[in-house]
A and B are shown apart, each in its own frame.
Chain A
Amino acid sequence: MSEAGSETNVSRVAVFDTHPVEPIDAESPLAWSRQRGLVDAAGGSGQVRAVERPFLGHLILRGGAITLDEAVRAELGINLPGKPLGLNLDADGSRSVQWLSPDEWLVIVPGGEEFELENRLRERLGDAHFAIVNVSGGQTLVELSGEKAREVLMKSVTYDVHSHGLPVGKAVGTVFAKTSVNLRRPSEDRFELVVRRSFADYCVRWLRDAGREYGVSVESPTS
């Protein structure tokens, strides 16, 4: 692909680094829950722990699998999950690509990496038909672990969260109480919920209620 081609493409789409140059206090989607006393101190001792991983970079990739796969592998070192409901992570688990629909993937990377990644992917993809959308402010990742994490999920989502139904490396969009989440199984001992910002407080209140009989903590680091 030529330099000129990629330039043309970039200029036809308005990319936008949403982060300020000077550091400014940001508020994660759980900020209001914390304000109203629904977030606990770190290191909960109950049988269920929900820990927010705030301020990560979330990008939605749209396009054909073959087109995107090469670019994602080259820029992230992760294979695009080709099969439906696939979730691939890099070696230390800090970057991931999740299948969302036949032409849609969710990329999650450490916060601040997303704009540069978007630009590099756009460069590499050139004039191919694709879309990249930064949705980092619109959703957040909540990790769920503990002995009774599965029971809490059984109260909340209709999907089969047993290893038969949700083995490591699988991710599904599913009903969560009266909203929806992306439910991911990155490893044997934990689940991840990708929650929409506006529904985050509802999800936290639901999790606290569902986990009450087992002892539950909801944690949210402020940076």
Chain B
Amino acid sequence: MSQNNRLSQGGRIDRSRVLTFTFNGQQYPGFAGDTLASALLANGVDVVNRSFKYSRPRGIVAAGPEEPNAIVQLGATEAAQVPNVRATQQALYDGLVARSTNGWPNVQRDVMSWVGKLGGSFMPPGFYYKTFMAPASMWMTYEKFIRKGAGLGRSPAESDPDIYDHLNQHCEVLVIGAGPAGLTAALTAARAGARVILCDEQEEMGGSLLDSREALDGASAADWVEKTVAELAGMESVTLLPRTTANGYHDHNFVTLHERCTEHLADTAADAGRAGEVRSRLHRVRAERVVLASGSHERPLVYANNDVPGNMVAGAISVYLRRYGVAPGQRLVLTTNNDHAYRTALDWKEAGREVVAVVDSRANPDGDLVKQARDSGIRVITGSAVMEASGSQRVSGARVVAIDTTRFVVTGKIEELACDTIASSGGYSPVIHLASHTGKRPQWREDLLGFVPGEVKGMHFAGGVQAVYALDETLADGTRAGAEAAQAAGFEQAEAIAVPSVETRTESATSALYQVPHEKSSLRAPKQFVDLQNDVTAAGVELATREGFESIEHVKRYTALGFGTDQGKLGNINGMAIAARCLHRSIPEVGTTVFRPNYTPVSFGAIVGRHCGELFDPERYTALHQWHVENGAEFEDVGHWKRPWYFPRKVNGKTETMHDAVARECLAVRQGVGILDASTLGKIDIQGPDAREFLGRIYTNKWAKLAPGRVRYGLMCKDDGMLMDDGTTSCLGENHFLMTTTTGGAASVLEWLELWHQTEWPELQVYFNSVTDHFATMTVTGPEARKLMAEVTDIDLDREQFKFMDWKQGTVAGVPARVFRISFTGELAFEINVQANYALHVWKALFAHGEKYDLTPYGTETMHVLRAEKGLIIAGQDTDGSVTPEDLGMHWAVGYDKPFPWIGKRALTRPDTAREDRKQLVGLKPKDATVVLEEGAQIVLDREQTIPMTMMGHVTSSYYSPILESGFALAVLKGGRNRMGETVYLPMSDGTTHEAEVVNTVFFDPKWERQNV
């Protein structure tokens, strides 16, 4: 085959550039400027897919995003696979490789077709629900079978070699659609001075003008398009985005556009010779005003066997003839209910092919186009319609009959017309999708036989989208909408643009026809397809209404009408009309489903943009990160932070295990000195005469008497009395405090403080500022810490001068520092804050002096073990939003007698928070010292109880303690404080059960002597 259907001349293709492509394993030629669909039609490829449910052969039906059948899997290599590409929207390029998504092993001979033959009884609507409901456990098996049979394309198994990105755009007027209305709207708004973005999803701007028979200002429509686009391109305030689909309209005129940057050139940007460029780009547009000029989609008529290849939407045939120089057949029958479709018969005849007849459902059509058809000798059969198509792999004839649309019956004798192509037109549906994305219901207009958009704030409509179809009116409508949009954005129009002159035509009214009546009932007639992609038939919709599905939303879900890549662009209105007829209601009474973004399928790459790979999520680093990397740290993610987890050493050429490294680090702190990078802890600077009062209200404990130079541990509750965060706060001056928070709580605690200050206590004079990043924090801890510190600081470290929970200012390694004697290990500890730019210098100086003490860097894992040995909690690990300070045994940190009612006080007086059987924090000591209990393990009292066992609590923290040479855990246990010494059981998922003794939470140094030395 070699482009047998290509006309010898005409079209907007470049016949000098022959492209070769492969479809289902066979090579074909095409021309630059073709779409994959036009090239397939040029080569006479009739069957492009098998249908979803009945496995019937299917051909190309449309020429745009509404195409239901020509859905292909694209890509020559595994990495370049793209599923669900509409062949009608894919520009042809040399080397393009495409396959049908349905039909296995091939579309011509389909092993699934026996299912299709039996289809009517085997897979009625609601088939999935009815057949696969039980047993539910079998669904996974059914689904595999259905997916394999139905096929919805597949994802690539290799990673995408291309890159994608996002661009944030702002403009005064965004015009969607560059057809006649969009072009005049954009020109008008731009001339008024507005920043304009004009986007259009096709390869070329111009929309319907590219295949129009009409002349503008006496020249061809395409000439006017070229001139207008050139003028727009020359304006600095205009951004033109061709090959860009407006896919989502969101609140506040936020619109997402997808631009195909290299997709029309080759499989990958590199294949197109544009390595490093993005394949497609998501434009996130925030527009003051949006002009929606998205035009309309032609509706096909619903008649028997209307899915046999060779049945096409009339307008699509004109597009293939006039834009691509392709006549997809020899002998045409056109069946229509309107005047405009007659252009297809005229185009067909002018291309030198035979028009067998135009079958018009109207009794007396007499518009200009009708006259023109009659004058050129075309046979026009009135009051009739094509009732049924003949043929299986390709149309071989049309059965035509006179019909009565009000009584929905055939009234005459059937005439058989031999033909290979049936064009049908049932009128036009405005493309209202974007106007309903924010939930706005469209309005049915019986005079226009279509849904028009409801009012959307900030959006203007131009042309076909509001059923303005005549070209002269469309051009004027665009001008009006452009001027209104610009004006609404604050730009007055200097002078009206001249609307190009167009010959006006008389048209006779369109008749309301959706489904063509058949000599048999819908249920007995050959299948009359409503939604080709989902194999929904008129009989299916009728059956759904009979089974009680009266809401169109229910009909949709029961039949699958409007699912899939085309989202009902062709079938929805016909489906609603059939449902309305069966329910004896009007279309507006039946209503419409609303559309959601996206308008067409979008590749994941374009959604992800550059937020992938190492840029998937931010990584936050402390000022000491370089040192950690250079010293072999393994890292743990804590929020966005990368924190050293542990520092494995090489021992005899082998890297330590985590267990060994953590044991070594723990013992170093208990017996020598260790150092931790604690910079990630949240730090909030609090200033103001009421700072102290504020602290007293936000923390559970007392702050009235904390003197400058002293530090106190505090608990923060939510207003429900549950612990939210904890940390130390230092009194820097009478009106000045430094609060620390958990790493994860840094931002939320600051917000919490601001919230209470701004909404409840604005009279308090206090300010909060984050200094988390400003200071780097290093914790030097262990029995040798004082000796090491003495070598690097000018601060008097005498235990009487610088006591536990004191802070001092001085220098460390020559750098001004604040040093805090606070301890999260239970050992002697100095926490050093220096300005972050000097942190690495100080850290390195500590190691230079620390060598003789074997100063050991430790990470978060060792920190966790050491604090747990002391029963010190971690908010968010040992607590979960249902734990009070009392539950933690921390009543010593609750000031019930404070004069002002602090946050959580009231909740803590509820009977529920006073229950004695609440889950309370306890220690657990496994009877077998080698056992480390699982965190999250449930605690039971009776190990013999049958499942479901009575769960008494769970393990919150559990580690192996090198100093105790035993596993140990913290847990919450109902009434735990009264169960000291009892044995509890922890059944594991593998059937074993651990035994543990309930003990005090402080496992090591119970008298707290070591931190005070």
Contacts and interface: CB of A to CB of B under 8 A. Distances in A.
B835 A133 contact: no
Contact of A178 (B618, B621, B641): B618
Contacts of A24: 814-815, 838, 841
B614 A138 contact: no
A157 interface: yes
Given A154-B169, A205-B614, A137 B837 contact: yes
A1 interface: no
A71 to B, nearest CB: 16
Contacts, number: 167
Contact of A129 (B733, B765, B775, B809): B765
B621 A198 contact: yes
B736 A14 contact: yes
A28 interface: yes
A20 B623 contact: no
A137 B835 contact: yes
A25 interface: yes
A32 B772 CA distance: 18
B992 interface: no
Interface string B817-839: 01000000000000000111111
B733 A11 contact: yes
A17 interface: yes
Contacts of B836: 29, 137-138, 197
A129 B763 CA distance: 12
- Residue among B623, B734, B775 facing the most chain A CB atoms (10 A cut-off): B623
A55 B837 contact: yes
B329 to A, nearest CB: 46
Contacts of B775: 137-138
A28 B835 CA distance: 11
A62 interface: yes
Contacts of B614: 205
A35 interface: yes
A74 interface: no
B769 A62 contact: yes
Contact of B611 (A11, A60, A177, A205): A177
Nearest to A103: B767
B733 A62 contact: no
Nearest to B709: A14
Interface string B729-747: 0001111100000000000
Given A12-B734, A26-B838, A137 B169 contact: no
Interface stretch (A40-48, A75-83, A159-167): A159-167
Interface in A111-170: 129-139, 151, 154-155, 157-160, 162, 164-165
Contact of A31 (B626, B772, B816): B626
Contacts of A9: 735
B284 interface: yes
Nearest to A128: B765
Q: Determine the main DSSP class of B at the interface with A.
A: mixed
B168 A177 contact: no
Nearest to A115: B816
A57 to B, nearest CB: 11
Nearest to B766: A131
Contact of A202 (B618, B626, B815): B618
Contacts of A178: 611, 617-618
Interface in A1-38: 9, 11-14, 16-22, 24-29, 31-32, 35
Contacts of B620: 198-199, 202
A90 interface: no
Given A135-B771, A162-B195, A154 B168 contact: yes
A187 to B, nearest CB: 21
Given A20-B814, A177-B615, A138 B774 contact: yes
Given A26-B838, A133-B687, A177-B611, A165 B816 contact: no
A220 B11 CA distance: 57
Interface residues on A, range: 35 or more
Interface in B753-773: 765, 767, 769-773
Given A133-B685, A196-B773, A155 B837 contact: no
Nearest to B617: A178
B689 A129 contact: yes
Contacts of A103: 767
A210 B771 contact: no
A12 B773 contact: no
B170 interface: yes
Given A136-B774, A160-B170, A155 B610 contact: yes
Interface string B149-169: 000000000000000011111
Contacts of B195: 162, 164
B165 A155 contact: yes
Counting chain B CB atoms within 10 Å of each CB, the highest count among A63, A158, A165 belongs to A158
B167 A155 contact: yes
B838 A14 contact: no
A177 B170 contact: no
A17 B816 contact: yes
Interface in A166-219: 177-179, 196-199, 201-202, 205-206, 209-210, 212-213
Contact of A213 (B168, B277, B625, B811): B277
Nearest to A9: B735
A158 B776 contact: no
Contact of B839 (A20, A27, A135, A164): A27
A28 B838 CA distance: 9
B458 to A, nearest CB: 16
A123 to B, nearest CB: 16
B286 interface: yes
A46 B641 CA distance: 32
Contacts of B841: 24-27
B840 interface: yes
Contacts of B838: 18, 20, 24, 26-27, 137
B294 interface: no
A158 B618 contact: no
Contacts of B611: 177-178
A178 to B, nearest CB: 5
Contacts of B765: 129
Given A165-B170, A202-B618, A18 B626 contact: no
Nearest to A31: B626
B143 to A, nearest CB: 35
A18 B733 contact: no
Interface string A58-95: 00101100000000000000000000000000000000
Contacts of B367: none
B816 A13 contact: no
B188 interface: no
A183 to B, nearest CB: 12
Contacts of B166: 155
B928 interface: no
A14 B774 contact: no
B736 A12 contact: yes
A13 B835 CA distance: 18
Contacts of A32: 621, 625-626
B610 A62 contact: no
A144 to B, nearest CB: 15
B386 to A, nearest CB: 52
Contacts of A136: 774, 835, 837
B619 interface: yes
A198 B641 contact: yes
A154 to B, nearest CB: 5
8 contacts: A27-B841, A29-B836, A62-B769, A129-B688, A132-B687, A134-B774, A154-B167, A213-B277
| Nearest 3 pairs of A and B residues by beta carbon | A138-B773, A138-B774, A18-B835
Interface of B: 165-170, 195, 276-278, 284, 286, 610-611, 614-615, 617-623, 625-626, 640-641, 685, 687-689, 708, 732-736, 765, 767, 769-776, 809, 811, 814-816, 818, 834-841
Given A137-B837, A155-B167, 15 more contacts: A12-B736, A13-B687, A14-B733, A18-B834, A25-B841, A27-B841, A55-B837, A131-B688, A135-B773, A138-B774, A154-B167, A158-B284, A198-B621, A205-B614, A210-B610
